[in-house]
A and B are shown apart, each in its own frame.
Chain A
Amino acid sequence: MSPLVEIRNLSKVYTRGRQKIEVLHHVNLDIARGDFLALMGPSGSGKTTLLNLIGGLDSPTEGTLSVGGERIDRLGQSALARWRASNVGFVFQFYNLLPMLSATKNVELPLLLTKLPAAKRRSHAGVALELVGLADRAAHKPGELSGGQQQRVAIARAIVSDPTLLVCDEPTGDLDRQSAVEVLTLLQRLNRDHGKTVVMVTHDPKAAEYATHTLHLDKGTLVEGVVAAEAAAQAGS
């Protein structure tokens, strides 16, 4: 079975003034469908940049990046936005919920981009909130929820449009241990029971234990882990 994510010779260079900073350096990586991958590494190693590229939030400077067989490195901004809407769910360290909307309305947000009628949107959001165990807090605004609950609402928002891929950037970075465990268990359940492919950036080795694979990045390069694609690329070169 072909991998869900195929990355070949991926580089990303940022320009700050006259300075060019190469954040990712010819990365090769395959992520299998249904995998739960943890990306680890020191600050500035390029793990969030790699995650952003996989999630279609940014475009590579060089190399190719396919997700589900689609070359997203070739997509323009509008096409990339449409692609994100239907293929990827995002979970961030600081939840990034809209503070003036209730949990249900936050979860409904991705569905506004679909043609679903309001009643269906509400019902889908309800199901997602139930899945993360927050059906009873549907009417609450983010300010009325704990950090762990907010993160679970963010996960409900990420899965409500039934994406194939979940990208999570330090999802437990702002949580206490108990809440972190709940969130990681939830991600694990989404991966195991619902077949979601999860790519998670984390600093926390305990969080990485919930993943099925862990890869380390350092100075923009993958430094350990079994990466078939790298081997394949090396063999081909």
Chain B
Amino acid sequence: MKYFNLIWAALFRRKTRTLFTLLSVMAAFLLFGLLNSVREAFTSAGHSIEGASRMLTISKVSFTMELPQSLDMRIQSVPGVAAVTYANWFGGIYQDPKNFFANEAVAANFFDVYSDLELPPAERRAFVATRTGAVVGASLARRFHWKIGDKIPLQATIFPQKDGSNTWTFDLVGIYHVTNSREKQQEDAFFFNWKYFDEARQFGNGKVGWYIEKVAQPKDADRVAQAIDALSANSDHETKTQSEAAFQAAFASQLADIGLIVGSIMGAVFFTLVLLTGNTMAQAVRERIPELAILKTIGFSNRSILVLVLAESVLLLALGGAIGLGLADLAVSVIRAQGIPIPMLPVGLAIWLEGFGLMAFIGLLVGVLPARRGMRLRIVDALAGR
């Protein structure tokens, strides 16, 4: 700590240059925070403790092909299955297509299987009892200022009603919460009664989009999955059962390989950052050769000089990086609070730790050559300007 003043003063010896370099580092880590927040949202889905005991059964042919509702009872009879529920993608629009949110028709016991979606018992009972009842996540309710008792019309894009109308009106009977901050994006969904949906829709009656099973023992998941798929073997509706996490990962990869996209962008950004900060550090040390020689003259060892320059380099990265990640954290909070439909998780500890690791790594990487130069300089040559 006693060297901090010296390192800090050296860092801001050329204020304008340092400021611009800091802005570049900040921008890079802002991007890092935002992109990782999106990546985490895609990759962490289904990784909750609850999610570990849930499996999804979809059509083996395509996710969009529906399955007979009659499978429900048969799946329940598979040993190891604790509960079964099902759902259909609805794809309705509220007022404007840009107001996107997930909306699904779900079975009455849906919230038993998704116990991580916390719905008060009275509201759960109301959901089951109300034919046109709907339940929304707290975040979605905040976004559209909905409250219990509101009538919410959704415009169907796939399923018109039997009378030809595309307007489905639901009664909001419950608002659920998700306490785990990493799963908060699950609050951006709208669920309504599958029974009402199935009776009122024009086509596809008696079919469900997918089944969700809760297994008694997660360790038995593979065996249970095989047994469920065996129920429909050689039929016209063969199934594929997998863990919720595997399903979410596969679903996300259909949209895009988020990991590859994020990795590619960040690779390019950090490569540029290494060149930029490397140049800054090289210039900074080149200008300070006589000053480093003085430090050595008064007794600073070669190793002290090495550490001082490396510390300066890491400080440059850490300062800009921490501000950048802090801004990313703030931006994600604002985006989520505003209900802007971008899947994002808060910039959590893992991202911060990864970020600080990167700052230290890049700092050491760009500092090592200038630091070695400072360490190796001969005092008499440096003082003589050679």
Residues in chain A within 8 A of chain B (CB atoms): 49, 52, 55, 57-58, 77-78, 81-82, 84-86, 90, 92, 96, 98-101, 105, 109-110, 112-113, 118, 121, 157
Contacts and interface: CB of A to CB of B under 8 A. Distances in A.
Most buried by A among B291, B299, B378, B383: B299
Contacts of A92: 383
B9 A109 contact: no
Contact of B299 (A86, A100, A105, A121): A86
Contacts of A58: 378-380
B302 interface: yes
Given A96-B383, A98-B291, A78 B301 contact: yes
Contacts, number: 69
B2 A110 contact: no
B297 A100 contact: no
A180 B9 CA distance: 30
Interface of B: 2-3, 5-6, 9-10, 12-13, 290-291, 293-303, 378-380, 383
A57 B379 contact: yes
A81 B380 contact: no
CB-based closest 6 A-B pairs: A85-B299, A100-B9, A81-B301, A96-B294, A110-B298, A100-B13
A99 B9 CA distance: 9
Contacts of A96: 290-291, 293-294, 297, 383
Nearest to A167: B297
A109 B380 contact: no
Contacts of B10: 100
A118 B2 contact: yes
Nearest to A117: B2
Given A99-B13, A105-B5, A113 B379 contact: no
Given A58-B380, A112-B3, A118-B2, A105 B9 contact: yes
A109 B9 CA distance: 13
A53 to B, nearest CB: 9
A56 to B, nearest CB: 9
A84 B298 contact: yes
